[in-house]
Structure 1
């Protein structure tokens, strides 16, 4: 065997193992960058030795030549659908039939019946498929079709990352048909639609449609580009038995590299099944994927065989469906609301209809581009969708039901609140020193804080719990303060008097004093909270924390140039321009000055973080100027030859051509011939010097944070501090605070009332701290 062949086999085995750990065990053992390096090495070796490429190689997931049509596949064992249960009584009736079919006691007034063991797992909302393995190799993939005949989608199935092309380990039957669901996660679905919108392609109504449409592409290269996943839920034909129970089968399949549901559980009796259904229902919106119910199966395979089938469904399984999340209703009107940043947003007024157990009369339409995409007209029959606490959305128009008197939707020319002009926003794309302007999706009222709606929303955001955290100022109170003319900017909150507040509806002497005390207590916010409270467009909590931690002072943040801001983590040029523009606005600067003048003292201010001291390079600055034809490599050559920004600006064509190709040299010369460009570059260098980020600045030692690289989860209610404060303290020590528990979680802090997150932490063997131990840990680290 040649050295290349040996290395190829080693790489395939290693990549297969990493895929298994990542997709099946949820325990990645190497960073993505290392996986990519190994994958590239394998790809290069196979390109050099095409005769060594095999169908089960991890590189063979990129799609193949497009088909003209799918061929038909006949299922040796039909892929039957399941019966449905919608109420608890349906489930109890199913359990009664199972007990009768197995000749077990069903219980009476004098005692309970037998407790049948059931497997429980979420019912994924995707597309059912069959995967056929011969001697451990994937040889065919097929859709369910009508249950008897499906379509051969083998080339497409091979592109799904967590479908093993070759089974792991050994001991699998010679013939093994695995059945499961191909689906798309919520995050993957959002990314797909965003990408489709960017290129003007078709967007999908929901993850199920996206998964089905992606899997049935005749061009498998398109399928390969889609974020599809597979989850196994059972078997079809097998040449020999594997286990005696359904869960035993799935656990064995997992050892062979097959992904199964992480929510798979065993329930003893119908009451445990119903408890599982309620638990999954409560956690449904936190799951990474869409589900529409829970599937229960008699766990014993012998009992399954004894119960058998009826018509087109097994007697030993049932799907307990959740209440419908989509319904039909009529669009009565479209009204327009004005938000904190002046965005004028269309809102659908609907004929009330019950969706997922809640009566819905309003739904979001996002913006006028969404109205156009839907082809929406007032009077249309529409499909609306509601998922848990998510605001209901209009998903689709039923055009065949459109009435003759349907009316188009028009954006108002003036603000419905203040009467100011409404204008369409413009998107500015900056690249290679050029600005390209296009129309944005948002319409905006130009009235700013003179518009009552914008002022109210700005104040509500400013006082919110995650911003200045002024307890006692709810939406109703803010509306009264604005309507009475007592507050015309956030700064006015700090000069309110007891006499002004006590006469407002809902206030008395005690509540007035409490509110004024809360306003006074908010005068010492952290810099990050204050930045977030200002309501800068596109600046959320995390970006505010980055700005505060990195630049260290309000003064630096206010004067930072856009290109300097892009040196900070996760701040792109467009957001950088939003931040810079906000602080350049005279009105915003006046409000900040008034706030500081009323006694606000920002905490945690200091120097630029040590990580950014002397962190820049001249070549990096040149690259950021986006000079046409000059990238990072050209910038390095330019600096190596000329040494300083002054010399580069002053250089003539001869000097420049000694460092660069003629085209690049001419581009640099032409760029700096414009005095505005030269001045901009010098200002950038001056600011980097002032901030201590310049390459000639003093380098500082970066001290490692004690919890850096760790992921923590807070659950339950903390009694000695709020969860927000706990989160801030953990982040100040370098930890990432997540909203869900996984195998990657380092520690869980559990207060009273902790529920499913604590349960999952215990199941995974993750360290759990109570509040006392948590506070002791913080104190040990000076938190």
Structure 2
């Protein structure tokens, strides 16, 4: 059984490490498509299944948790086109429940957390989870002054003008009792009736095709012309709030009812519940009503009703502990495999993709599905055990397969329908050479386990055009150097024209302006010719190709020059070193402060070989995988040459650590030990994290504060020896109250 389908309990260390990396890559791409492009190619159920497996692997194998773990960040990023808005209170995602047992576990966690409150009966709310686009509306003195998208949870986009066109959003609050300032949050959506009407109108004039109501609502909300947004008849349900100068009510339920009094549409299916049985009963009721609601929902959200208890329970890994989304099951469909293609990624992985006969699953047309690796295609794992059924069942061109939008960015194959397999279908032969550059494609041997990696990689590295192009795309991407104007198409054009082969070449394009202009002009002429052939008539340009070319190049060169002094963490991430994501790059920037120091230490590690710990420092969150990846990068002379060439063009800024002054413990590492008498250990941790501190489980030289209750043992002794600040519980509470 491959890592994609294998039971977590049966994973080896190496298999767990590989599976976490695989899921990390797929989840990151899913986040980008969903939050930045509003164009997901899997359902929420699909994404949730993969995220759930990822988190379960981190729990089962904590030693392989990545420094840039997705459990530690909020997904997505705001895109260009609208002014940015920083949310005063982050717009966080919710933890997921998939079974009744998950709901029971959620309630039991709450009971354990508040176990010191002997007579406390937990009360919850339950309401439909609308499948739309989250928005935040800021009202001052009852007047709508700004509306924004969720973005990455911390920063969204200002779409006030478009939100004002939605009839469910009042420009002025009704009634009375609203705070002086409050941010009302909810979901913008499109009804199914409006979606079908829009599709019909578009088809009548030969316009674009629309995939589903959610994506259409998102696109409608980001129109430059508010009149277009208004024509789409979008709707809005209010269900939460962000910053408020005073709380609207003591409970979640009463607050939402207030929203209704103030003029907002709220869900009539929101109820209070005093037990898991009542929560599940409401879930089943809403599931039965789902098809008759007239708009898409994908689950039911449960929350602790008391706002005071919400504050006490706090947050974990970018999610509130006091809320959970109980998701509906994934859908399945039958289709056939038309072809199997091999794609070569940035790190050389040969990724097989099945091309399918298009099939609709949950309102989305699916045409591709990842086949992960050659073992997955064969139907076996690295130990030769079957992953589909009792016997190995491979995937062949011509097969009828069952797919579901769950588990991967491109939906996964649930099973192969053998009784429908064509007689002429033959087993797929996985290539042992790179289809792009012809270099050998090998499966690396894990020295610790003695087993082969499940993925086959091209050994061509930078001589492989596919890897080189993907590396360049990564270098200029939003999270890396973020060079505006160098998107996928332009990178591919500049590479194929021979103008850019390595990252350093990007910064010398201004010196080759004539050649760059010629390449862009040739592409425009070819595109124009193709359009003329398709339409049967020539298009008349209002301005010359040369005039438009000069304008575009000036902007491009300016954007490139603006990135000649990048932040150090962005620069490290842009290098595309294997296993080093954005969070890890930031940790490395904090550790080494300058690129000069990182390069010096990396070359020392490469020269020394052997144990990476002999050269690299011990840094919390950076394990052997990261240090070995750095050493391997600097062992490659071509990588060092590319880096040095790049450093002749750019000067990364030294990394400077800044600590927030809003909290006495922000940025500090805190350890709790002994018995806490005024709060539970979980509540103490939540409090510290809420104030910006990091909570560790053991005392080291990196510890700033030890909070010691009665019964403190060796941790107290170690802290005293290291000269670490030691506080009792009262001292801790006094400190955080400051």
TM-score (norm 1): 0.34
Higher relative contact order (CA 8 A, sep 6+): 2
TM-score (norm 2): 0.36
